């Protein structure tokens, strides 16, 4: 299977208004000279990024303001992205978390996490597979999951479960594809320093966070080289192999102590 060649091609990046999505958009524009369709809810952030990238990288950017937790909005993003027939790839990156006791997570917030991280992603992936998985079509899709999808993460129980879904879904679908020129990659970072983790609850965990530029660089590498499931960072990859030999209950128990300490400290401040 040939690598993706992004120069002058149109790539959709969801969740491009901050964090990993914004940084991947920047690197796709500056380094790979890709044209971008950027989607998220915050119009001002997307318009600022469009102005910045069109000026500094000389590429074209289309903004789609959408709430991807609403299935019709997710459909609109894909319909507008494929409308002129030149979409080459999509990075479905938008996601939300909740860090705290699961019993304290209001039901509406839980539903919103589920709709953003799972329903919206599946909805968009279904349409993208229909679009790309046919003879003569060339392209790739990358689903941004998390290492939290590999083992149960206490105090991020709902988030961890949504990412386990995305990992299983993306990896299973990878092996259903019939077009050899189309791929689905799952990208599974450990912690990254972004808006998501810029919260005092994560203070005790901040030493483990990867700089967003590194995570974005490795994410784009995984996308271009059509990896099946890719974990950025050598230490994360080694840790992941090592953890496969340990019982999930043991890992989850150890994590629970570290996470609870961080949460408790934040609550005491």
Ligand X SMILES: NC(=O)c1ccc[n+]([C@@H]2O[C@H](COP(=O)([O-])OP(=O)(O)OC[C@H]3O[C@@H](n4cnc5c(N)ncnc54)[C@H](OP(=O)(O)O)[C@@H]3O)[C@@H](O)[C@H]2O)c1
Catalytic residues: 159
- Smallest gap from residue 205 Cβ to ligand X (A): 9
Give the one residue of 17, 81, 125, 236 binding ligand X; rule: CB under 6 A.
Answer: 17
Give the one residue of 81, 156, 194, 236 binding ligand X; rule: CB under 6 A.
Answer: 194
Q: What are the contacts of 197-200 at 24+ separation with CB within 8 A?
A: 199/99, 199/266, 200/266, 200/269
Q: Residues near 14 by Cβ (< 8 Å), separated by ≥ 6? A: 21, 39, 40, 68, 77, 90, 91, 92, 93, 94, 124
- Smallest gap from residue 174 Cβ to ligand X (A): 18
Residue span binding ligand X (CB under 6 A) among the ranges 10-18, 131-139, 236-244, 256-264: 10-18
Give the one residue of 27, 30, 33, 41 binding ligand X; rule: CB under 6 A.
Answer: 41
Angle subtended at Cα 174 by Cα 127 and Cα 182, rounded to the nearest 5 degrees: 65
Nearest to 4 by CA among 118, 142, 155: 142
Q: Quick check: 63 binds ligand X (CB under 6 A)?
A: no
- Smallest gap from residue 31 Cβ to ligand X (A): 19
Q: Tokens at residue 28, please?
A: 């796709």
Residue span binding ligand X (CB under 6 A) among the ranges 2-10, 67-75, 103-111, 150-158: 67-75
Q: Tokens at residue 120, please?
A: 């919206």
| Side-chain half-sphere exposure of 141, counting CA atoms within 13 A | 27
Nearest to 183 by CA among 136, 217, 228: 228
Residue span binding ligand X (CB under 6 A) among the ranges 92-100, 129-137, 222-230, 233-241: 92-100
Rounded distance, CA 198 to CA 28, Å?
Answer: 24
Give the one residue of 191, 218, 223, 263 binding ligand X; rule: CB under 6 A.
Answer: 191
Rounded distance, CA 264 to CA 237, Å?
Answer: 29
Q: Quick check: 196 binds ligand X (CB under 6 A)?
A: yes
Give the one residue of 13, 19, 161, 183 binding ligand X; rule: CB under 6 A.
Answer: 19
Rounded distance, CA 222 to CA 65, Å?
Answer: 26
Q: Quick check: 229 binds ligand X (CB under 6 A)?
A: no
Q: Quick check: 53 binds ligand X (CB under 6 A)?
A: no
- Residue pair 209/193 in contact by the 8 Å Cβ criterion: yes
Give the one residue of 68, 124, 157, 220 binding ligand X; rule: CB under 6 A.
Answer: 68
- Smallest gap from residue 166 Cβ to ligand X (A): 8
- Smallest gap from residue 176 Cβ to ligand X (A): 23
Phi-psi category of residue 209: left, alpha or beta, with phi > 0 → left and psi -120 to 50 → alpha: beta
Number of chain residues interacting with ligand X (CB under 6 A):
29
| Site pattern 132..171 for ligand X (x: CB under 6 A) | ------------x-x-------------------------
Give backbone dihedrals phi and psi of 140, rounded to 5 degrees, phi first.
-155, 155
Nearest to 116 by CA among 79, 78, 165, 70: 70
Residues that bind ligand X (CB under 6 A): 15-21, 40-42, 45, 66-69, 93-96, 116, 144, 146, 189, 191-192, 194-197
């Amino acid at each position: 299977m040939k690598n993706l060649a992004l120069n002058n091609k149109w790539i959709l990046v969801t969740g491009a208004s901050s964090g990993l999505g914004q940084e991947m958009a920047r690197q796709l524009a500056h380094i790979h000279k890709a044209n971008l369709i950027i989607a998220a809810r915050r119009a001002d952030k997307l318009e600022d990024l469009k102005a910045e990238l069109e000026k500094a990288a000389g590429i074209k950017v289309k903004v789609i303001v959408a709430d991807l937790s609403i299935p019709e909005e997710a459909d609109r993003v894909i319909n507008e992205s494929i409308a002129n027939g030149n979409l080459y790839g999509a990075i479905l990156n938008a996601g939300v978390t909740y860090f705290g006791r699961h019993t304290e997570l209001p039901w509406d917030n839980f539903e919103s996490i589920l709709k953003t991280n799972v329903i919206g992603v599946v909805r968009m992936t279904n349409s993208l597979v229909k679009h790309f998985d046919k003879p003569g079509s060339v392209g790739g899709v990358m689903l941004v999951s998390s290492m939290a999808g590999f083992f149960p993460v206490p105090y991020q129980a709902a988030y961890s479960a949504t990412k386990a879904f995305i990992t299983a879904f993306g990896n299973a679908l990878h092996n259903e594809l019939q077009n050899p020129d189309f791929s689905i990659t799952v990208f599974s970072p450990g912690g990254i320093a972004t808006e998501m983790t810029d919260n005092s609850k994560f203070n005790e965990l901040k030493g483990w966070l990867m700089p967003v530029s590194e995570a974005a660089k490795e994410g784009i590498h995984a996308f271009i080289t059509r990896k099946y499931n890719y974990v950025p960072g050598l230490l994360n990859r080694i840790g992941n192999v090592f953890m496969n030999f340990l019982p999930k209950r043991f890992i989850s128990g150890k994590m629970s102590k570290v996470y609870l300490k961080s949460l408790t400290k934040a609550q005491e401040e």
